[in-house]
Structure 1
Amino acid sequence: MDGQELQKIAGDCAVGLPGVDLEHRFGPDWKVYKVHGKVFMLMTNMPGRPVVILKADPDDAAALRQQHADITLGYHMNKKHWITAEGGGTIDEKLVKELVIDSYRLVVGGLPKVEQSVDPRTYGRRA
């Protein structure tokens, strides 16, 4: 999958999640996805490379970087809690959607209970 396809899949997945807003806060080249005012995903083009930047559990982030050459440290974000995904041969549609939902759940889990649009412990998980 190329970078544009990666961004389309991630964007389509994100806008379908409860309570999500899309902003172009940093200019037209940046898409910022938020849930109740908190960022869980960003998209931009690094020189010639469309990327998706997502929040990740630190242990999961380290494992993902080891397993996938197309997942690196979070671009312009906290390197421990964020990852950058770009198009290439190691990421498929299923993984992109899982990463988006995991990022969303992490952010929702940090919100006060009254603002949580879903149960972050169970949302998007298969029984």
Structure 2
Amino acid sequence: MSGASTPPREVGGTCPCGLPEPYDDCCGRFHTGVASPSTAELLMRSRYSAFAVGDVDYLCRTWHPRTRPRRLTLEPDQVWTRLEIHTRSGGVLFTTHGIVEFSAHYTHRGRPGVLHEHSRFVREDGVWLYFDGTED
């Protein structure tokens, strides 16, 4: 499953996820498949970064098959500007489920917006996947 007609944007400097690391050392290594997120929060951050850089393939790979849409198309006029993690529950080494509450700030055609969501994650065969989310 995919929807990307263009490759992900190049990222220089700090990772879009908000951690003080270069993109290549942070979420970029997950996007390229060099590493896998070890917690639900890291998966959340890497998925946010994938939205920010337009990496539809990564979003699809990390979406649970039971809830993944057939096709995913990103809004080209939406620019993701900042991620805030509010709370996290589970989603660590010896768990199979996790919830991350976050706010993702963006602009759409110059107008600011915020997506506030409680995302559910599951770990299957040692790999964290996004299951679904509830927007507030």
| TM-score of the pair, normalised by structure 2 | 0.30
- Greater share of strand: 2
Higher RCO (C-alpha 8 Å, min separation 6): 1
